[in-house]
């Protein structure tokens, strides 16, 4: 049986000895070209011809407050009411286009007609530029019942690109992050209490991937703030009988806040869509937090402050991957938006790390290139995420340096944490 067809996982390279150009931010701008221009459908076919995959994005509702403009002024004035080609990423495996839909994050769940119209337009653009698979980024997945409730235009019924949540690749990336951070911190997972905050598609997929690919933790805490008692009960049965977990399982649920008992977790994986629900100050010293929530489940500002002052917590983004080769980016940004960006945001746009890629963006390209990696809709099973784990390892993708958003954790402070709380 080929590796593509097997669920057995190859050894993971956990080396943290990075001596590559990626450590020199002064070189990043060489890999990115930024144009202050709006790319609408009449130009997209010339710029993005023959891409392999597309990732669909949306606008953050914070843009309304930050700009002081109305929805109409931004959607019609900036984007002409149409999807916008935001970026093209050229990788060693193929090209990915990022298309921003003219809808705000706050509208995804309550404006179904607008969302359907945007998705039809976005999928049409994706097909026209050759994409074979489209990933639904961020909240688009849950807003469409994890890709199962996407309207396809009549003209695309037989030719639309495959639709994927990208969650199989994301679960694999988070599992890689867990493997790396436990290795670097000298904290074997078998000695830890693993807390899963959020039991939607990603939270469940990560848990299944971890238990089928890494040593089992000493105990598990399951927490969802939406009172998913039935899911918690059935999940315990699955963990016992299908995944062979023998340790203690604690099931916690709440309708408003994270229960006190959950803070006994020593390693926490955040996979919820409720922002800021985890109070950084309540984490016990030595806690490791890996987050793939949208938005982040904790205050990044508070986490940075505690880390830099006390070095008694470690936190990182779990949804990013480091590519084996640098990627080249063409970024297209409306000129009206440029004037609103701060210095740090401009550095992120003009000089992103060329080795870094978001796992669910990469996912569409993997599905386009490898027949064994299915487009993932609905809830992800361990077999799917394990296949992505194996393929990522085979292709020499790895977990990147510890970071959250644009903040890179100081290696000296990470070392102090490891010396204090490592085994």
The C-alpha atoms of residue 279 and residue 25 are separated, in whole angstroms, by: 32
CB 164 within 8 Å of CB 239: no
Among candidate residues 241, 279, 234, 242, the one with its CA nearest the CA of residue 257? 279
Tokens of 318: 């779990």
pLDDT at 155: 64
How many CB atoms sit inside 10 A of residue 417's CB? 21
Helix (H/G/I), strand (E/B), else coil: 45 = helix
CB 4 within 8 Å of CB 370: yes
Helix (H/G/I), strand (E/B), else coil: 34 = strand
pLDDT at 339: 82
pLDDT at 227: 59
How many CB atoms sit inside 10 A of residue 309's CB? 9
Residues 6+ positions from 422 with CB-CB distance below 8 Å = 185, 186, 187
pLDDT at 15: 41
pLDDT at 41: 65
pLDDT at 44: 73
CB 395 within 8 Å of CB 186: no
Q: 248: which DSSP letter?
A: E
Residues 6+ positions from 301 with CB-CB distance below 8 Å = none
Domains present along the chain, CATH in parentheses: 21-164+324-394 (no CATH), 172-318+399-421 (3.40.50.720)
- Series of mean pLDDT values for 10-residue runs along the chain (423 residues): 35 40 72 83 70 96 92 92 93 96 96 95 92 95 93 72 96 96 96 95 94 96 80 91 96 84 97 90 98 90 97 96 95 87 81 93 97 92 93 97 92 96 91
CB 291 within 8 Å of CB 391: no
Tokens of 122: 């976005």
Q: 407: which DSSP letter?
A: E
In 328-413, which ranges are E strands? 328-332, 356-358, 403-404, 407-408
pLDDT at 377: 92
């Amino acid at each position: 049986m080929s590796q593509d067809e097997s669920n057995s996982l190859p050894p993971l390279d956990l080396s943290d000895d990075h001596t590559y150009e990626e450590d020199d931010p002064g070189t990043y701008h060489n890999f990115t070209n930024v144009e202050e221009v709006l790319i609408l459908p009449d130009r997209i076919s010339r710029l993005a011809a023959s891409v392999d995959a597309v990732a669909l994005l949306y606008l953050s509702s914070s843009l309304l407050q930050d700009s002081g403009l109305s929805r109409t002024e931004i959607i019609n004035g900036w984007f002409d009411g149409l999807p916008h080609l935001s970026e093209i990423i050229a990788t060693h495996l193929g090209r990915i286009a990022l298309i921003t839909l003219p809808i705000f994050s706050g509208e995804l769940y309550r404006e179904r007609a607008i969302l359907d119209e945007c998705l039809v337009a976005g999928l049409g653009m994706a097909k026209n530029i050759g994409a074979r698979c489209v990933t639904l980024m961020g909240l688009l997945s849950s807003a469409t019942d994890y890709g199962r409730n996407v309207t396809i235009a009549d003209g695309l019924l037989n030719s639309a690109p495959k639709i994927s949540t990208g969650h199989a690749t994301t679960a694999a990336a988070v599992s890689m992050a867990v493997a790396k951070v436990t290795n670097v911190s000298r904290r074997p997972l078998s000695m830890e209490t693993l807390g899963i905050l959020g039991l939607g598609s990603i939270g469940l997929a990560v848990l299944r991937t971890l238990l089928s690919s890494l040593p089992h933790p000493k105990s598990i805490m399951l927490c969802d703030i939406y009172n998913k008692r039935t899911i918690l009960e059935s999940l315990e049965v699955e963990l016992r009988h299908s995944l062979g977990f023998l340790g203690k399982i604690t099931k916690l649920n709440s309708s408003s806040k994270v229960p006190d008992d959950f803070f006994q977790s020593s390693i926490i994986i955040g996979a919820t869509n409720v922002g800021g629900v985890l109070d950084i100050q309540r984490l016990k010293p030595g806690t490791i937090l890996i987050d793939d929530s949208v938005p982040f489940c904790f205050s990044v500002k508070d986490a940075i402050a505690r880390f830099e002052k006390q070095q008694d917590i470690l936190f990182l983004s779990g949804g990013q991957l480091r590519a084996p080769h640098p990627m080249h980016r063409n970024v297209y940004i409306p000129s009206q938006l440029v004037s609103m960006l701060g210095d740090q945001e401009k550095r992120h746009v003009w000089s992103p790390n060329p080795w870094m890629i978001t796992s669910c963006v990469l996912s569409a390209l993997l599905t386009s290139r490898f027949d064994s990696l299915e487009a993932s809709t609905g809830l992800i099973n361990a077999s799917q995420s394990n296949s992505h784990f194996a393929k990522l390892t085979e292709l020499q993708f790895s977990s990147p340096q510890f970071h959250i958003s644009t903040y890179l954790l100081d290696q000296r402070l990470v070392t102090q944490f490891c010396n204090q709380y490592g085994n």
